[in-house]
Amino acid sequence: MVGPGTLALHEPRFQGKEASFLMDCLASTYVSSVGAYVDRFESDLATLTGAKHAVAVVNGTAALHIALLLAGVQADDEVLLPTFTFVATANAIRYCQAIAHFVDSEANTLGLDAHALREHLAANTHMKHGVCINRHTGRVIRAVLPMHTFGCPVDLSALLTVATEFNLQVIEDAAESLGSYYKGQHTGTSGIFGTLSFNGNKIVTTGGGGALLTNDTELARKAKHLTTTAKVAHRWEFVHDQLGYNYRMPNINAALGCAQLEQLPVFLAQKRALHDRYKQAFASVDGIRLWSEPAHCTSNYWLQSLLLDEPDLALRDAILAAANDAGLMTRPAWTLMHELPMYAHMPRAQLPVAQSIAARLINIPSSAGLGVSG
Ligand SMILES: *Cc1c(COP(=O)(O)O)cnc(C)c1O
């Protein structure tokens, strides 16, 4: 929430059946760890994304944690990820006691650069018994974790080719890209797992929430088991057959999610319309442009981004100050992960493009309801 007279960066919108589903959930008394809305939300998500299975969880970070564990990421393994991401992507790797290994992004998609990744791996790793080994640290590089930035899909074909060559598991952080497609395929459905977030600032919210997507029925069963305290089904006994997690999405959050998902097509159309309006407005402004989806990609345009032609932190900060003073909530990109104290000592590639993007990018008010009356 922002003060009066301020335009938020991103506000949720509740104009569908949210209230009626929530009242129905309360009336059922099933507000917590069991209930029909969770099943319905999972099935709606699977239908929407084309994934065979969706498992709803408490938040997107928890979804990443479970995806990494089930992809076989072990303590002291390395996992590749863009330095240009939200901190949750890196934190989930650390929750597995694995090592975050940061790689560069490309300006076109704002996401992981598969070609730079290939060069980095070719120069710094060797394959041993079919496993990719970091030549400098001796550790196994187990997986790659791309993130679809502000809704834009990464170049998945190029990335999947590199992952196959170096035998890396692919987990897609699709927290920001519900409703985004790469060559017609929904993001989060190409790797072993994709993960979603339904935090209050995302395109669809459950208050707090997340989900795992997978096409593997056995992995979906394991994900459900691990996120529900690994309890063995029984009429009365409490038996848990491994270390599990209490990560299940409460039914009341799923009720909100079911209503929100019905609105997704409307949100997508509104965000695209907003993008077109911004595009026109900035077309005649020198030195700055509105970021737009590349060919083969359909972005959900979750957040709209301006990019300065040249990295210029002083200009970027002057624009941020002027806009925020004028009641327009604008934000820079995240501080790059390798610059944060808990990640400064972790392995990394050359990161010139991520550094340039960070010094050029400004996110501007992006709510679906912007410019829509009511
Ligand atoms: C929102 C987000 C997440 C997950 O966030 P939660 O708040 O845990 O749901 C993960 N990665 C990225 C890139 C995100 O934007």
Tens digits of residue pLDDT in 69-124:
999 999 999 999 999 999 999 999 999 999 999 999 999 999 999 999 999 999 99
- Please check the confidence at residue 44 and state whether its pLDDT lies above 60: yes
- Please check the confidence at residue 3 and state whether its pLDDT lies above 80: no
Q: Which atom of ligand 1 is nearest to the CA of 201?
A: 1
What local confidence, expressed as pLDDT, does residue 163 receive?
Answer: 98
Contacts of 295 (CB under 8 A, 6+ apart): none
- Please check the confidence at residue 327 and state whether its pLDDT lies above 70: yes
pLDDT band at 364 (very low <50, low <70, confident <90, very high): very high
For ligand 1, say whether the CB of 125 is within 6 Å of any of its atoms.
no
pLDDT band at 2 (very low <50, low <70, confident <90, very high): low
Calculate what percentage of the chain has a pLDDT beyond 70.
98
What local confidence, expressed as pLDDT, does residue 159 receive?
Answer: 98
What local confidence, expressed as pLDDT, does residue 33 receive?
Answer: 85
pLDDT band at 4 (very low <50, low <70, confident <90, very high): low
What local confidence, expressed as pLDDT, does residue 374 receive?
Answer: 44
Contacts of 143 (CB under 8 A, 6+ apart): 68, 71, 72, 73, 77, 79, 80, 168, 169, 170, 171
Residue in the structure block whose two tokens are 């695209």: 272
pLDDT band at 6 (very low <50, low <70, confident <90, very high): confident
State both tokens at 212. Answer: 């795992």
Q: Which atom of ligand 1 is nearest to the CA of 173?
A: 11
- Please check the confidence at residue 55 and state whether its pLDDT lies above 70: yes
- Residue 136 has, within 13 A of its CA and on its CB side, a CA count of 11
- Please check the confidence at residue 1 and state whether its pLDDT lies above 80: no
What local confidence, expressed as pLDDT, does residue 273 receive?
Answer: 96
- Cα separations in angstroms, 147 against 33, 110, 370: 29, 9, 26
How do beta strands 78-82 and 140-144 pair? parallel
pLDDT band at 5 (very low <50, low <70, confident <90, very high): confident
Q: Which atom of ligand 1 is nearest to the CA of 197?
A: 9
Tens digits of residue pLDDT in 291-323:
999 999 999 999 999 999 999 999 999 999 999
Tens digits of residue pLDDT in 150-209:
999 999 999 999 999 999 999 999 999 999 999 999 999 999 999 999 999 999 999 999
For ligand 1, say whether the CB of 147 is within 6 Å of any of its atoms.
yes
**Could you give the domains of the chain?**
18-262 (3.40.640.10), 264-371 (3.90.1150.10)
Q: In one letter, which amino acid is 273?
A: A
Residue in the structure block whose two tokens are 């990443």: 64
Are the C-beta atoms of residues 64 and 199 closer than 8 Å to each other? no
Calculate what percentage of the chain has a pLDDT beyond 90.
96
Separation of CA 89 and ligand 1 centre (Å): 7
Alpha helices in 96-155 (DSSP H): 114-124
For ligand 1, say whether the CB of 89 is within 6 Å of any of its atoms.
yes
Closest residue by Cα to atom 14, ligand 1, is 175
- Please check the confidence at residue 45 and state whether its pLDDT lies above 80: yes
For ligand 1, say whether the CB of 60 is within 6 Å of any of its atoms.
yes
Site to substitute for ligand 1 among 171, 196, 199, 227, most atoms within 8 A of C-beta = 199
Alpha-carbon distance of 329 to 324, in angstroms, equals 5
Are the C-beta atoms of residues 187 and 149 closer than 8 Å to each other? no
